[in-house]
Every structure is written in C-alpha cells, then in structure tokens.
Copies of this chain bind each other. A is one copy, B any other.
Amino acid sequence: MCPSQPVDTNGNNACHDCPVAQSGPCQWLDSSLRDRLVAASVQKSFRQGETILPSGQPPAWVGIVLSGLVKISTIDEQGNEHVLQLLHPGEMVGDLFGSPALFSFDAATDTRLCLTQRSSIKEAFDRNPEAYAAHLRIAMRQLLEQHFAQLAMRGRNSLQRVAYWISTQTPDTGTDRLLSVRILLSRRDLASLLKMSVETVSRNLHQLEDRGIIRVITPERLEIVDAVRLRLIARDQDSRLKENLLRQGWEWGARSVNLPRYTPKAGQRPALAVRP
C-alpha cells in the first residue's frame, strides 16, 4: 500500500521523497515488497471538503495520507455532521480487507494520498504476509490516537479543549516567542471535533485573545502570544487554580478553591467523573 515509490501524475518515481516514508506503514516493508506495490499506486490530491471514500463503498484501493488531514465523519438523521476522528499523515484510509466503509472519509484540509489498488495489495500481501504487521501497527496507532483524543475531551471544559487543540497544533518546543499557527480546519469541523458549537469555539478563541494568550489575526490564522499560559489552561482544570493564584482578583475562580475533590480513603475506589 503506501508504496515507497509510487508513480506520480508525471510518471515520475515519487517515493524517494515520500513524506511518510519514516512514519507510514512502509517503514516496516522491505524494498522488494515496496517495489511491487509501487506499480499499483498513484498519488492523488483532494481539495478541502472533497470526499475521499464515501460511506457504504467497498474501497477499490487503500490509501495512506501523505499530507493534510482526513476526517472520518458521518451525517446523522437530522443532517448534522459529526467528525469522529482526524487522520494524520502516515495513516490509513479504507479497509485492507475490502469491507465497505461505515463512515465517510473526507479531506478536512487540502490533502494528498497515496492510493494502492486493493487487488494488487492482496496479491502482494499473500506473498509477503508480514506486511500485515505493518498495517496492524498503523491500526493500533489510530486506535491509540483515538483514545487520547477522547481523553482530551473528558474532564476539560470548552475553553480548555480549545486551548488544548491549539497547543497540539504547535511544535512542542517551549517557544516563548511569537508563534504563528494556521487553523487548517473550518470552524465547523473544529467545533464538531471538539464537541462544541461553532459559537462556543469562537467565543473561546476570543476569550483567549482577551486574556492576552493568543492573537486572532484572521479567522484561520492566529498567533500564540503566551505559550506557557496556553498550555497551562490546556493542561487541566487546576490550571485555573494556578492561574488564579498568579493573578489573583479574577472573578471566575471561586469554585476552583474547592479542589481537591478527590480524597481517597483506604480501599475506596476513586470517583469516576466525566467533568473534573
């Protein structure tokens, strides 16, 4: 599948500069297998919003995200779209075994994929079944990412989720200088992914701006002014507490003082809670 060297639209051998050569499934394939897959692969670009693999379709190919973001989403009975997961470069689109997709895969941003014929994959994998291991690793990564994403939604209020999202979009370096970030997703997709309404996203963004943590240059471009405080907010709820301690006299912390809420006694299981 993610052939290391698929032929691009010009017929050139594009694998030597494949952006996911080190992160995609190909990293675990030996060169002979890769060569076999190259022949059956093409790269293809999708515009933001384009559907890559519609729900219900048994995929004729399997794709690896090369660049951009792919959203797994579905539209419910009321016509509301729900973004379930974002796929990053190196991850898979489409079932290797040909099961029809149960959700829709769309380009969340402009996207480039490496598409490989399923029929060719099957043939190649029958000969080199260890290649399945590579895809298993990717599948498990996607599962793990999904769990993390879910966890990030739990126990965080909307402001924290927005802050968290922004901080995931930046290199993890502790830069204290101005950092420009491009929000690739539309407000709608972002809101759905963060499980809140568009309005709330907007309000939170501007609340962060009012607090001098970010600057909203254009709707899709923003600057991180105070990366430290951003992460502090994103981190967890008791960042509120910390932040209040730092700049006391703010009027929305009253409840924070009630922490800690968790005082385990011997043998008592910790309380489960969705909201901290």
Binding site for B on A (CB under 8 A): 49, 72, 74-85, 95-97, 99, 102-103, 125-126, 128-133, 135-137, 139-140, 142-144, 146-148, 150-151, 154-155, 188-189, 191-192, 195-198, 236-238, 259-262, 264, 269-276
Minimal Cβ-Cβ distance residue in B for A155: B76
Q: Return 19 A-B CB contacts under 8 Å, by A number.
A: A75-B270, A76-B151, A77-B238, A80-B276, A81-B270, A85-B147, A95-B140, A96-B140, A97-B137, A102-B144, A103-B147, A129-B129, A136-B136, A136-B139, A154-B195, A195-B274, A197-B274, A197-B275, A198-B272
Q: Give the CA-CA distance A129 to B142 in the complex, in Å.
A: 21
Let me know if B274 and A192 touch, CB within 8 A: yes
Let me know if B133 and A271 touch, CB within 8 A: no
State the Cβ distance, A232 to closest chain B Cβ, in Å: 13
Minimal Cβ-Cβ distance residue in B for A275: B197
Let me know if A276 and B238 touch, CB within 8 A: no
**A74, A82, A83 — most chain B CB neighbours (10 Å):** A82
Let me know if A273 and B238 touch, CB within 8 A: no
Q: A96-B136, A136-B135, A136-B139 are in contact. Are A78 and B197 (CB under 8 A)?
A: no
